[in-house]
Chain A
Amino acid sequence: MERANIKRVALIASAAALVLIGSTAAFLTSSDKGDNRFTVGKVDLTLDESSYTDGQKLSAGQIIDKNPTVSNKGNVRELFFVEVTVPCMEATFLYNDGTRIPPANIPTDPAAADYRQLGEIYNLLADGGTGGTYKKNAISAPSNTNWEISCNSGTSDQEGWHFITKSENQKSYDKVPGFRNGKYSTYVFGYNAWVEPGGRTVPVFDKLQLRSIVDADIPGGTLTQVQVNAYSIQADALNVQTGDRNGSQGSYYTDADVREIYKIIENKKNG
């Protein structure tokens, strides 16, 4: 009996609740409509070299204009990284005074051929802004040589590039037909600030120079490929620890920040 009463009460209660809901709905409802439109962010970029002409023939020591810059063609803020591949060849390299640079294990009484060694044949030269202040050489050049792999460097108060890493024989690009296969070094640079849509970086570097080499060791007309690859990633919502800087104007990323962000690019390339 008691169970039946409980059941009846429960049914009455639910009916009452339903009526209550209905009544409430009659007094308090209103409606509105809002359109929440979301635009999917687009990350895009172009790599430009306004001063470079393809296919030039260089004499030893000759310097030509080559100024890779990266532009944001997307609709979100982006961070940029650039890889530059420098060909290496077996050659006799020269000091600034024209004498031959001996390889590490040269014999006591060397013949001419004993001076041949594998080395990068190009310099990357950054102008470094007014007075050449803002440039950094990524390599420790042997004394009495003009070897240089430099970038227009970023600082705490200036936009620019940080040198991140160097690797050898990294097979990360497609060789064009006729390219002479061989060994190469790949230098990676990262920009210390995010770039707005429509914006552009400063050049990574400004010129390319063929190093001083004995010409008989490299056949004239040898085609070399200096591949430049640019990568971008969204600047916002990155789950990366970057200290107290955020890549905006006046809060440029440090060298360590850029390296940390680059890990994302590396993972995506290798994934």
Chain B
Amino acid sequence: MEMTNRKKGVIAAVSAGVLIAVTGGVFAYFAAKDGKANLVRVGEDTISVDESFDQPEQTQNFAYRKLVKIDNTGSVPCFVRVRLEFSDSAVQSAASFSSDKQGADDSVTVDDDDIDFYPADPADDNAYAKHLPEGWEYSTDDGYYYYTAPVAAGESTSALISWVKMAYEDVTAIQAHDIYVYAESVQTVDPDTGEDYADPELTDGYKTAWRNFTT
């Protein structure tokens, strides 16, 4: 048998190949995702005056309980300041304050030797403003009593006063009166820079916080 130059049979070769699956556009890329829902609350700066007050029956000389402190009822720390105002300046001249005997069961008479009272009028040479309990300072510039430490949320200042003594010159001077307790607070953080004036390494941070607030 001889091969001719005619057309020979063709040997078909089949080769196996890799089939490339082509999918549509971008969905062929591998991708992944992760996420975090960061919850942040807007803080609240609120305070309330906490006062233990025993309504007295007035005489020419008497003392009554008036324990005043300020509660931070908000959710962020704050600085506190207080003004004590009398409804009548004549009554103020007959009044004096003490921060002693803060116990709920404590009692006081005008003759007690174990309690110190000082004149309520800040202008007096021996004024209560010069004998404040620890943590409080009086500013002659604006007439406020400043609590120098930051008050954390849910906490309170120490008592500014605990007792009031009235000593009228005579019985005709006795009159009904009010002692107004007005309190303000400011957040400890500078709203522009974020600096925290409650930082214990700062000296008189409360002054800076109040100065920035009022200017």
Measured between alpha carbons, how far is A57 from B196 in the docked complex, in Å?
A: 14
Measured between alpha carbons, how far is A48 from B42 in the docked complex, in Å?
A: 23
Q: Are A220 and B31 in contact (CB under 8 A)?
A: no
56-100 of chain B: CB within 8 A of chain A: 74-76
Chain A nearest Cβ from B87, distance in angstroms: 29
Q: Are B45 and A220 in contact (CB under 8 A)?
A: yes
Most-contacted residue by chain B among A60, A76, A221 (CB, 10 A): A60
Q: Are A209 and B194 in contact (CB under 8 A)?
A: yes
Q: Are A62 and B43 in contact (CB under 8 A)?
A: yes
In the complex, identify which listed stretch (B32-40, B105-113, B125-133, B141-149) lies at the interface while the others stay far away: B32-40
Q: At the interface, yes or no: A66 with Cβ under 8 Å from chain B?
A: yes
Q: Are A61 and B189 in contact (CB under 8 A)?
A: yes
Measured between alpha carbons, how far is A176 from B36 in the docked complex, in Å?
A: 11
In the complex, identify which listed stretch (A26-34, A39-47, A103-111, A194-202) lies at the interface while the others stay far away: A39-47
Measured between alpha carbons, how far is A58 from B33 in the docked complex, in Å?
A: 29
Q: At the interface, yes or no: B191 with Cβ under 8 Å from chain A?
A: yes
Measured between alpha carbons, how far is A238 from B192 in the docked complex, in Å?
A: 45
173-215 of chain A: CB within 8 A of chain B: 173-176, 179, 208-210, 212, 215
Measured between alpha carbons, how far is A59 from B194 in the docked complex, in Å?
A: 9
Q: At the interface, yes or no: A96 with Cβ under 8 Å from chain B?
A: yes
Residues of A close to B9: CB separation below 8 A:
10, 13-14, 17
Q: Are A58 and B42 in contact (CB under 8 A)?
A: yes
Q: Are B31 and A17 in contact (CB under 8 A)?
A: no
The residue of chain A having its C-beta at the shortest distance from the C-beta of B194 within the complex is A63
Mark interface residues in B173-207 (1 if CB within 8 Å of A CB, else 0): 00000000000000111111110100000000000
Residues of A close to B8: CB separation below 8 A:
13, 17
Q: At the interface, yes or no: B19 with Cβ under 8 Å from chain A?
A: no
Residues of A close to B196: CB separation below 8 A:
62
Chain B nearest Cβ from A134, distance in angstroms: 21
1-59 of chain B: CB within 8 A of chain A: 1, 3-4, 6, 8-9, 11, 25-27, 29-46
Residues of A close to B190: CB separation below 8 A:
61
The residue of chain A having its C-beta at the shortest distance from the C-beta of B10 within the complex is A17
Cβ contact of B34, chosen from A46, A64, A233, cutoff 8 A: A46
Cβ contact of B36, chosen from A47, A146, A220, cutoff 8 A: A47
Q: Are A221 and B75 in contact (CB under 8 A)?
A: yes
Interface size class of A (residues with CB under 8 A): 35 or more
Mark interface residues in B100-120 (1 if CB within 8 Å of A CB, else 0): 000000000000000000000
Q: Are A13 and B3 in contact (CB under 8 A)?
A: yes
Q: Are A68 and B36 in contact (CB under 8 A)?
A: yes
Q: Are A271 and B26 in contact (CB under 8 A)?
A: yes
Q: Are B1 and A221 in contact (CB under 8 A)?
A: no
Q: Are A233 and B30 in contact (CB under 8 A)?
A: yes
Measured between alpha carbons, how far is A245 from B201 in the docked complex, in Å?
A: 49
Q: Are B42 and A66 in contact (CB under 8 A)?
A: no
Q: A60-B191, A61-B191, A220-B75 are in contact. Are A49 and B38 (CB under 8 A)?
A: yes
Residues of B close to A6: CB separation below 8 A:
6
Q: At the interface, yes or no: A256 with Cβ under 8 Å from chain B?
A: no
The residue of chain B having its C-beta at the shortest distance from the C-beta of A125 within the complex is B194
The residue of chain A having its C-beta at the shortest distance from the C-beta of B193 within the complex is A61
226-257 of chain A: CB within 8 A of chain B: 226-234, 237-238
Residues of B close to A222: CB separation below 8 A:
41-42
Chain A nearest Cβ from B154, distance in angstroms: 12
Q: A44-B32, A209-B194, A268-B27 are in contact. Are A215 and B44 (CB under 8 A)?
A: yes
28 contacts across the A-B interface (CB closer than 8 A): A17-B8, A17-B11, A41-B30, A45-B33, A47-B34, A47-B36, A55-B39, A56-B40, A57-B41, A57-B44, A57-B76, A59-B188, A60-B191, A61-B189, A61-B191, A62-B43, A62-B196, A98-B191, A220-B42, A220-B43, A220-B44, A220-B74, A221-B41, A225-B40, A229-B34, A232-B33, A271-B26, A271-B27
State the 9 A-B residue pairs at the shortest beta-carbon distance, nearest first.
A220-B44, A61-B191, A63-B194, A43-B30, A59-B187, A12-B1, A57-B43, A229-B35, A47-B34
